[in-house]
Amino acid sequence: MHPNDPALKSFIDVAEQSDFPIQNLPFGIFSTAAQPQARAGVAVGDWVLDLSVLESKGLLKPAAHDVFGDATLNAFIGLGRQMWRETREAISLLLRHDNPVLRDDAVLRSLALVSRSEVQMHLPIKVGGYTDFYSSKEHATNVGSMFRDPANALLPNWLHLPVGYNGRASSVIVSGVDVRRPMGQVKPPSAEQPLFAACAKLDFELETAFIIGGDTALGAAVTVSEAEPLMFGMVLLNDWSARDIQQWEYVPLGPFNAKTFATSISPWIVTMEALEPFRVPGPVQAPEPLPYLRQSGAHSFDIALSVDLQPENAEKPTTICRTNYRAMYWSMAQQLAHHTVSGCNVSVGDLMASGTISGATPDSCGSMLELSWNGQRPLTLVDGITQRSFLEDGDRVTLRGWCQGAGYRIGFGEVAARVLPVLPNRC
C-alpha cells in the first residue's frame, strides 16, 4: 500500500479533521520535559513518533551514522530524495493498523510515542539562506494599486520573472515564539524629517515556504524540471512586516529593517510526496515566460489557508482571511529555477518563501495592509465592536493550512505568535 493511499489506516486513532493522518507523516524537531534533548519526530494524530527511538532500535536506519538524534533535520534531509521516500514508507508501515511490530509492543510504544500536548517544538532546520518571493498576482496588484497607479499596478518586470529578495535567516523562528514590535525610522506624511519610533503599522503576511533538500554547485543553474526533486517539503510562514518602516526605507533597494526582525514558520514540514495527490494547474501565464521558466502540467497545489486574529482579552479569535495557494502565479519550480539561473548555489535547509498569498475577493487578502486597505477600511472583529487596521500589542495571529482529501486531510498544523510591546528602555 502506498503511503498516500486514502484507504490506509493506523493503529493510532486519528480524527477525520486531524491535520496529521497516516497519509501525512510530517517531520519536525521536538523535546519533552523528561527528555530535554531536541530530536526528530513525525506527527500522527495527537501523537509524536520519536524517530530517534526507532533509529536506536534498528527499525529505522537511513544512514550509517545516527541522524534522528540531531537537533535539526538537515543531516536527514541531506541524504536525498530516495532516502526520504524509503524512510517515509518504513514509518508508514510501522504505523499501519495491521502491523504488530509497534502496535503490539507496549514497551516500545511507551518509548516511541509521545503525546503532542507534552512536547516543545523547535525550529526544524538550520536555515542557511532565506529568500522571500513576491509571487501572488492579486497581492502585487493590490499593493501596486494602493501605492502607485491602479491602471499600472504591476511593475513591468512582474509578469516576466518571479520577483524576490534575500532575507535574514538568523531571525527565522518557530511557531510559538512571540514577536516584539520593532523600532525603526519612519517618516509620517506630515513630517519634514524621519523619526525614530516604534512601528505603528505592524502586519502579518500569509505565506508558505519550501525547504531545499540538496546542495548545488556555485555557477550551476537548476532547471524547472530539476527543481521539484530538490524540494524536501513545505511549511507555513508568517513574514512579519513593519509597513511604516518599510515605506520609508524600501526605495531604492527594497525592505530591510521592516522585515529582518522576525519570520515565523510552522514546526512540522509536510513532505512534497505527501502533497502529491493535491497537485493542480497554476494560473495561465501571459505573456509566456522566457524558455528557462516555461513549464507544463500541474505545478501548483490545492492548499486551503486561513488567518485568525485574537486580541489579548478577546474570548475567541476572528477568522480574517481565507484563501488558497493554488492562485499563486509563479510556481515553486519557477522560483527555484530563476533563483539559480545566475549561478547562485543553494544548500540543504535553505528556506524559499512564496510571498504573501492573496486571492481575488476582499476576505482572501493575506495581509492587514490589504484587508484594511492601508487603514482606510478597518476590520471589525467577531465581537462587533473591536476594530483593527494593523496589529496591536497582545494580538495573537494564527496561520493554518491544509489539503482536503476523501475522508482525511493533509495539514500543516499552525504557525502562531503573539505581538509583544517594545521594550521600555528602547522607547
Active site residues: 139
Residue matched to cell numbers 462587533: 384
Residue matched to cell numbers 525547504: 211
**Pairing verdict, β 27-32 and 119-122:** antiparallel
**Residue type at position 137:** K
Tell me how crowded residue 260 is: count the other CB atoms within 10 A of its CB.
16
Peptide bond into 162 cis (omega under 30): no
Question: Phi-psi bin for 305: left (phi > 0), alpha (psi -120 to 50), beta?
Answer: beta
Residue 179: partners with Cβ closer than 8 Å, 6 or more residues away? 173, 240, 261, 262, 264, 417, 418, 419, 420
Task: Report how far Cα 340 is from the mean position of its chain's Cα atoms.
Answer: 21
Residue 148: partners with Cβ closer than 8 Å, 6 or more residues away? none
Q: State the cell numbers at 87.
A: 524512510
Task: Return d(Cα 336, Cα 339) in angstroms, integer.
Answer: 5
Q: Which secondary structure element, helix H or strand E, spans residue 260, and what is its range?
A: helix 257-260
Question: Phi-psi bin for 242: left (phi > 0), alpha (psi -120 to 50), beta?
Answer: beta
Task: Return d(Cα 100, Cα 103) in angstroms, integer.
Answer: 5
